[in-house]
A and B are shown apart, each in its own frame.
Chain A
Amino acid sequence: MKRNLGLWRLMAFVAALSIVFGVVSCGTPAPAPEPEVVKETVVVKETVIVEVTPEPQEVIKETVVVKETVVVQATPEGPKEPIRIGTGQPLTGPVAWIGQYYNQGLTMAAEEINSEGGVLGHLVQIFPCDNEAVAEKALTCVRRLVDQDKVQMIIEMGSSSTTLAAMPLMEEYEVPFLAAIVSAPSITDNTGREGGNIWAFRSCAHDGMTLDPVAKYIIPQVDTISLIAWNSAAPREAAEELKQLLEAGGVEVLSVDYTEAGQADYRPVITRIKSLDPDGLWFSIVARDAAVFIRQWRELGMSEQKLFSGSNVVGYEFLEAIKDDPSLGEGITEATLYIPGLEPDFEERYLARWGTPADYIASAAHHSLRYVVATAAEMAVQDTGEVTPSSLRDALEKVSVEMPTFGLIEFDEYNQAHPDMAVMQIQNGEIVLLETISTE
């Protein structure tokens, strides 16, 4: 009897343990799968300027592998004052891959600008600073970049929280700031003439701007729809928001489901959706799981519904996952900011330069410097003859530039740009651009 008592106590303990685990795994979103790239952590400690080198060179200084090379070319009139651009990024820590993509995109843009002679003769130099995606470190970075590196401008802080923390300090320093990838809507509330901080700009769309066009795109095509989202904060919020927008547009939302990442059996949900028989389905599930989902969707004979996706399902990752039967993905449509495959030219150059495929972050980083900031700097030189923080800021306010894929970039009274979204569809196993829609 005594032995049994101990055994039952053990079972009770383990039962409690499994419940706790169960509840915890219900409550916390599963970790986002990392992109499949070779991630070498490039810890850039110092930027080295290499004088008059026709080709980029890697310079090894002490034990630090310096990957940032800025090419300075001699012009007939002698070198002009360089444009110094700082950036705060997580270069170490769990999200270091964001900083890596970002720096690579930015560096590549600088190399391209410089190899064409710079901005009206002014070469571009990049000063990266590791903020580890931590707010206090972001402030240290701003101080270092402005006081020590004497940058005329800062592009990006790597995450919404570091951006929100650093913005007031950059305003105090009167150094212009451009956010190019962060997506928290609240940033825009504090920027521009209306928002009270004229030094901060954002060239990418925020979460609040992207669902509206998605809804507008879906509404005319269906009367009823079911929604499925990956059970993680962002897709969940997106599904809830989209439901409201669709209902406001007269579409009946028959069901909203949240699924766990990983080993999910979607059949029960699909069986229910089948009995609801909606005109369309919107699903925001990470690409690999989406491939499992779509197999089960087809297995249950679902073919009538129009398929709309979120979470970059319409992309190479998904196509790769269904390459044994590309027809599985036929007709899936997604409206998004950027999907790899849209700019084969840029992507090829990026792959050749870095050995890893470009993603949204790399593209946004590259384009923000290559098009937006370079154009503003050119305007500043033309207007004032020099690039200073304030001449750059003034120019940014007036900038109007066509950016590949993202469309016309102009800043509104909140210093927020309204880049286009691309509507992509899988047709015959390939990604086809159907149209671009505005985020106005």
Chain B
Amino acid sequence: METFVEQLLNGLTLGLMYASVAVGQALIFGVARLINFAHGDLFMVGAYVFFVAYSVLGLPYPVAICVSAVVMFGFGGLFERVIVRPILDRPWHVHLVATLGASIILISAFTLMWGSTAKQVPTSYSATILQVAGFRVSLQRIIVVVVTLLSFLALHLFLQKTKTGKAMKAMSQNREACAVVGVDVRRLSTLTFAISCGLLGLAASLVSPLFTISPTMGMGLTFKAFAAVIMGGFGQVNGAIYGAIILGVTEALTAGYISSAYTDAMAFAMMILVLLLRPQGLLGRGKVGI
């Protein structure tokens, strides 16, 4: 029983990592009606920005986190202006080709700049092991969980309470109506990418000390996060978070009780199961909306 609870917690932390990528993907899909197949690679970019800030420049950890979040906020906006804006009004297969192309370019560029060898950026928190409710867990992992949840809360409040946030929700519900009330659709699209990427920068700086950083680390994440977005109901930010946590827990329980060779297969099987039971996704209304 104790092991089971521990496995659930393992799954929760893994799920939160997927969720940090998935919320941005859901937000972008909601606002811009575009599936960003480079989203996991933008997470990778965030991880390298953090690596440079923390390991190369030697900035203190909290400062390095902020640097990564801020740089990625700008990079996200730039990404939208350069890659996404020219094709925003084109059909979805153009989106697919453009974002997959961007993914390949990012991977290649970072391989050229930093090599394909994985890098590590352990912090002093990753070596600090705490005893929490009978479970051994590193401080870094607790930081990941707490800060990620806080960032989700902040995003939630932003979408519920601020005018811009409401406009993003509105965009996901009715684009034409947005144009009619005078929302600048393009500016909002840029801002959405910036916010999503800022979140990625934050998440990457939190998670990287637990894992390794390499140019190809984002590809798997893109698809995991995407599966979470589908499970959650397309474009549903909260749904994407639930979907991601279900994925994480499924993987942890599979690795914990069956075999780690089947984690991916089980994760995608779970996605199919959810879609069979609820074709519109966990929170989906059969329509798109954040």
A–B touching in complex (CB under 8 Å): yes
A33 and B116 contact, Cβ closer than 8 Å, known pairs A14-B230, A301-B136: yes
Q: Which among A263, A268, A295 is the interface contact of B7 at CB below 8 angstroms? A: A268
Which residues of chain B (260-278) have a CB below 8 Å from chain A? 260-261, 263-265, 267-268, 271-272, 275
Q: Is the CB of B118 within 8 A of A288?
A: yes
B216 within 8 A of A: yes
With a cutoff of 8 Å between Cβ atoms, the chain A residues found around residue B227 in the complex are 18, 22
A289 and B212 contact, Cβ closer than 8 Å, known pairs A18-B223, A23-B265: yes
Q: Is the CB of B3 within 8 A of A262?
A: no
Q: Is the CB of B118 within 8 A of A265?
A: no
Within the complex, the shortest CB–CB distance from A260 to chain B, in Å, comes to: 7
How far, in angstroms, from A300 to B141 measured CA to CA in the complex?
12
B117 within 8 A of A: yes
A257 and B260 contact, Cβ closer than 8 Å, known pairs A268-B10, A268-B251: yes
> Which of B74-82, B119-127, B184-192 is near enough to bind chain A?
B119-127
Within the complex, the shortest CB–CB distance from A37 to chain B, in Å, comes to: 10
A299 and B288 contact, Cβ closer than 8 Å, known pairs A269-B255, A272-B3: no
A271 and B6 contact, Cβ closer than 8 Å, known pairs A15-B275, A295-B122: yes
> Which of A3-11, A86-94, A173-181, A354-362 is near enough to bind chain B?
A3-11
Within the complex, the shortest CB–CB distance from A423 to chain B, in Å, comes to: 27
B211 within 8 A of A: yes
Which residues of chain A (1-58) have a CB below 8 Å from chain B? 4, 7-8, 10-11, 14-15, 18-19, 21-23, 25-26, 33-36
Listed from nearest, the 3 A-B pairs whose CB atoms lie closest are A268-B255, A288-B118, A268-B252
Q: Which among B6, B118, B122, B259 is the interface contact of A258 at CB below 8 angstroms? A: B259
A291 within 8 A of B: yes
A383 within 8 A of B: no
Q: Is the CB of A259 within 8 A of B260?
A: yes
Q: Is the CB of B267 within 8 A of A22?
A: yes
Q: Which among A10, A263, A298 is the interface contact of B211 at CB below 8 angstroms? A: A263
B158 within 8 A of A: no
With a cutoff of 8 Å between Cβ atoms, the chain A residues found around residue B264 in the complex are 22, 25-26, 260
Please give 13 more A-B residue pairs, beta carbons under 8 A apart, in addition to A19-B272, A265-B211, A301-B136. A14-B230, A21-B223, A33-B116, A34-B116, A34-B117, A231-B261, A260-B263, A262-B216, A271-B6, A271-B7, A295-B210, A298-B129, A299-B138
With a cutoff of 8 Å between Cβ atoms, the chain B residues found around residue A22 in the complex are 223, 227, 264-265, 267-268
Q: Give B284's nearest chain A residue, CB to CB.
A: A11
- B75-94 interface code vs A (CB 8 A; 1 in, 0 out): 00000000000000000100
Which residues of chain A (276-300) have a CB below 8 Å from chain B? 288-289, 291-292, 295-296, 298-300
With a cutoff of 8 Å between Cβ atoms, the chain B residues found around residue A272 in the complex are 3, 7, 255-257
How far, in angstroms, from A289 to B217 measured CA to CA in the complex?
12
How far, in angstroms, from A383 to B232 measured CA to CA in the complex?
80
Q: Which among B3, B137, B220, B261 is the interface contact of A25 at CB below 8 angstroms? A: B220
Within the complex, the shortest CB–CB distance from B140 to chain A, in Å, comes to: 9
With a cutoff of 8 Å between Cβ atoms, the chain A residues found around residue B259 in the complex are 256-258
How far, in angstroms, from A315 to B6 measured CA to CA in the complex?
33
A324 within 8 A of B: yes
A384 within 8 A of B: no
How far, in angstroms, from A260 to B212 measured CA to CA in the complex?
13
With a cutoff of 8 Å between Cβ atoms, the chain B residues found around residue A262 in the complex are 118, 212, 214, 216-217, 220
- B96-125 interface code vs A (CB 8 A; 1 in, 0 out): 000000000000000000011111101000
- B5-18 interface code vs A (CB 8 A; 1 in, 0 out): 01100110110010
Q: Is the CB of B10 within 8 A of A267?
A: yes
Which of B210, B260, B267, B271 neighbours the largest number of chain A CB atoms within 10 Å of its CB?
B260
Chain B interface (Cβ < 8 Å from any Cβ of A): 3, 6-7, 10-11, 13-14, 17, 35, 92, 115-120, 122, 126-127, 129, 136-138, 141, 210-212, 214, 216-217, 220-221, 223, 226-227, 230, 234, 251-257, 259-261, 263-265, 267-268, 271-272, 275, 279, 286-288
With a cutoff of 8 Å between Cβ atoms, the chain A residues found around residue B260 in the complex are 257-260, 268-269
With a cutoff of 8 Å between Cβ atoms, the chain A residues found around residue B287 in the complex are 4
With a cutoff of 8 Å between Cβ atoms, the chain A residues found around residue B10 in the complex are 265, 267-268, 271
With a cutoff of 8 Å between Cβ atoms, the chain B residues found around residue A325 in the complex are 122, 127
A63 within 8 A of B: no
Q: Is the CB of A275 within 8 A of B253?
A: no
Q: Give A272's nearest chain B residue, CB to CB.
A: B256
With a cutoff of 8 Å between Cβ atoms, the chain A residues found around residue B136 in the complex are 299-301
With a cutoff of 8 Å between Cβ atoms, the chain A residues found around residue B120 in the complex are 288, 291-292, 321
Q: Is the CB of A4 within 8 A of B286?
A: yes
Within the complex, the shortest CB–CB distance from A288 to chain B, in Å, comes to: 4
Within the complex, the shortest CB–CB distance from B6 to chain A, in Å, comes to: 5
Q: Is the CB of A26 within 8 A of B138?
A: no
With a cutoff of 8 Å between Cβ atoms, the chain A residues found around residue B252 in the complex are 265, 267-268
A299 and B117 contact, Cβ closer than 8 Å, known pairs A4-B286, A262-B212, A265-B10: no
How far, in angstroms, from A300 to B254 measured CA to CA in the complex?
19
A271 and B256 contact, Cβ closer than 8 Å, known pairs A7-B288, A22-B268: yes
A33 and B261 contact, Cβ closer than 8 Å, known pairs A14-B35, A271-B6: no
Q: Is the CB of B220 within 8 A of A18?
A: no
Within the complex, the shortest CB–CB distance from B281 to chain A, in Å, comes to: 9
Q: Give A21's nearest chain B residue, CB to CB.
A: B223
With a cutoff of 8 Å between Cβ atoms, the chain B residues found around residue A264 in the complex are 211
How far, in angstroms, from A272 to B4 measured CA to CA in the complex?
9
With a cutoff of 8 Å between Cβ atoms, the chain A residues found around residue B288 in the complex are 7
Q: Give A302's nearest chain B residue, CB to CB.
A: B136
Within the complex, the shortest CB–CB distance from B214 to chain A, in Å, comes to: 7
Q: Give B218's nearest chain A residue, CB to CB.
A: A263
Q: Give A321's nearest chain B residue, CB to CB.
A: B120
With a cutoff of 8 Å between Cβ atoms, the chain B residues found around residue A258 in the complex are 259-261
Q: Is the CB of B129 within 8 A of A301?
A: yes
Q: Is the CB of A10 within 8 A of B92?
A: yes
Interface CB pairs A-B, < 8 A, 11:
A34-B116, A257-B261, A262-B220, A263-B217, A265-B17, A268-B253, A271-B10, A272-B255, A299-B138, A301-B129, A324-B127
